[in-house]
Amino acid sequence: MRVIRVPAGGEWGTAVTEFELFQALRPLYPAAEYALLPQVANSTGAGNKRHCDALALSLWPSRGLHLSGFEMKSYRGDWLRELRNPEKGEEIAAKVNYWWVVASNLAVVGPGELPQGWGLLAWDEKLAKLAKIKAAPFREADKLDLAFIAAALRQAQGVCTPAGVIADARKAGYDEGVRQTKEDLKYDRHDYDVLDTAVKDFEKASGIKIRHRWEGGKEIGKAVAEVLAGTLANRRRALVEIAQLILKEFGDEDAEQA
């Protein structure tokens, strides 16, 4: 999580963005147990006048079905504006069983400022996670209206990927992998054929079967390198020059005896 420094309550504190605070909720509301949605409005269409920054619905009746709402506050100024008009928050808070303020640091919400019935989570820089400062008490929620349900489902549709789309994408990825592998094998086969031809030509000219294990490979490699470098030709030239000097100095008969 990216952490930045901002003035908070006259002192320097830690602040994280609302998106980062939403991501920090996931360990507390894992996908196997909760449907966690960002930015859920109170309604759709013209009735959309208020939204909560996150909504979490528990999924297992054995553990209790309940709905939690969250307001993210990155800066103290955001929180102070909320305090000046707390009724706005209650418009959605009344529809959930738990209502939380999620603050970027402890300096955002001052002592005694949290309204009754609200819970507080704050980012703890040392622990690198959200800490529960005050538990949100359970409340009996108003009956869910279809407009609110429509808003939640609309958001779910926007952030969730249908299983069919995932299956199609997986198949397309698999098919592309098979196609690419066949293409790579085609080029690999071509490279192999070129190398195999070169090896056969070498074996035919040298009489050495290099595709089978044989000893002396290192020495033969050195000899080939010397031939390519002209070393043997230089040695032969030097021997010819020595022979010519001997013939000149001793004559043919003496040279033969030497």
Domain end marker among 160, 193, 226 = 160
Co-location of 247 and 151 in the same domain: no
Co-location of 124 and 186 in the same domain: no
Residue 191: which pLDDT band, with cuts at 50, 70 and 90? Answer: confident
Whether residue 20 has pLDDT greater than 80: yes
Co-location of 94 and 34 in the same domain: yes
CA distance 91 to 14: 29
Tell me which amino acid residue 30 is: P
Co-location of 145 and 83 in the same domain: yes
Joined together, the tokens standing for residue 217 give: 């490979």
pLDDT in tens, 45-104: 666 567 788 999 898 988 888 999 999 998 898 899 888 877 777 777 888 899 999 999
Nearest 10 degrees: CA dihedral of 156, 149, 18, 162? 0
Higher pLDDT, 151 or 101: 101
Q: Per the structure, how many domains does the chain have?
A: 2
The helix (run of H) or strand (run of E) holding residue 103 is: strand 98-103
* Residues 123, 104 contacting (CB under 8 angstroms): yes
Compute the half-sphere exposure of residue 48: CA atoms within 13 Å on the CB side of its CA: 14
Co-location of 86 and 145 in the same domain: yes
Joined together, the tokens standing for residue 129 give: 């996670």
Higher pLDDT, 172 or 75: 75
pTM confidence score:
0.55
**First CA to last CA distance, the chain:** 90
Counting every residue written for the chain, the total comes to: 258
The region of weakest confidence among 22-31, 103-112, 189-198, 205-214 is 205-214
Domain hosting 53: range is 4-160
pLDDT in tens, 206-215: 776 766 555 5
Q: What is the CATH number of the domain that holds 117?
A: 3.40.1350
